[in-house]
A = this chain, B = another copy of it.
Amino acid sequence: MPREAVPDLKTYLAEKRAIVDTALHDYFPEPEGLTSDLTEAMRYSLFAGGKRLRPILCIAGAEAVGGSGKEVLPVACALELIHTYSLIHDDLPLMDDDDFRRGQPTNHRVFGEPIALLAGDGLLTEAFSLMTSPGISVRIPPHILLKAIRLIAQAAGHEGMVGGQAVDIQWEGKKADLPVVNFMHTHKTGALITASVASGAVLGGADESQLRAITSYGEKIGLAFQISDDILDIEGDTQTMGKRAGADEEKGKMTYPAVLGLNESKKIQSELVETAVQGLWEFGSRAEPLRQIARYIIERKK
């Protein structure tokens, strides 16, 4: 990647992030009434400074196959709702028991555990309400929308993200091998990242061959993203990341570096990103954001 391409990616990410943030604010107006604590809790984590990586991947996935980023916005935002719910539940005392996330107190530390649990449940459910809102199905054929929703639900559920979290919890403190770590990473983080870019491609009108290529890209960067999370936990700076470095090792979490060492993990990560980028050749310049996002994943500091 030529050095001068970096500012372009920054601009692209900033632009798309602003579009996603505006849409999310539209979907979640100021809370009122008897449930105002609940909706305030949902908003708290939703607007806690997320990178909006999943919505941006969805938009970029649609654009890569010639679709419109604007049309997939409700689905893109729904992916952020699902991601946010998973973080709230993951941080609960009964799970990882984390006090800080993105430099701010975690949801249950501010709103209490019952409201945090329900805020997560509410965000997950609202994701599906958003994806089926009449606004979106006017522009996208209903059967295509159903296909994208199913893809996302499967990636988020017990055969995807939730399954990965279960394995993560159950293997904590145990000596894991590569197949188990791979399963956990591809499910816990990889599945929703893959579904983000793949759902965008589906909604953008991808044919089966295009969808396969985009899905393969998603699988590779999804795994690379989790490996980079593992590496950041070792090499990263607590202040930059907004969460405590070294927490994985302390908790006996399964990580790539724990199984393969830091150098081998970095090597695999680079190979994944390069293969992901190469697999996008057929999409030409439309896929440039996806290529740059792939490289950004291993260069990021938080």
Interface residues of A (CB under 8 A from B): 34-35, 37-39, 42, 85, 89, 92-95, 113-115, 117-118, 120-122, 124-126, 128-129, 132-134, 137, 141-143, 145-147, 149-150, 153-154, 156-159, 162-163, 165-167, 169-170, 180, 183
Measured CA separation A8–B156 after assembly (Å): 42
Which DSSP category, helix, strand, loop or mixed, fits chain A's interface? Answer: helix
User: Which B residues are CB-close (under 8 A) to A153?
Assistant: 125-126, 128-129, 132
Q: What is the minimal beta-carbon distance from A257 to any residue of chain B, in angstroms?
A: 21
Closest approach, in angstroms, between the C-beta of A151 and any C-beta of chain B? 9
Query: Considering the chains assembled together, what is the distance between the CA atoms of A92 and B95 in angstroms?
Result: 13
A129 touching B143, Cβ below 8 Å: no
A280 to chain B, nearest CB (A): 28
With contacts A94-B113, A125-B156, A129-B150 known, is A118 near B165, CB below 8 A?
yes
Give the copy number: 2
Chain B CB within 10 Å — which of A125, A157, A162, A165 has the most? A125
The chain B residue with its CB closest to the CB of A164 is B35
Q: Compute how far the CA of A115 lies from the CA of B170 in the bound complex, rounded to whole angstroms.
A: 9
Q: Point out which of A137, A153, A162 has the most chain B C-beta atoms below 10 A from its C-beta.
A: A162
Which residues of chain B have C-beta atoms less than 8 A from A118's C-beta? 89, 158, 162, 165-166, 169
- Are B126 and A137 in touch, CB under 8 angstroms? no
Closest to A160 in B: B125
B122 lies within 8 A of A150 (CB): no
A158 — which chain B residues lie within 8 A by C-beta?
35, 38-39, 42, 118, 122, 125-126
Q: Which residues of B have CB within 8 Å of A34?
A: 163, 167, 180, 183
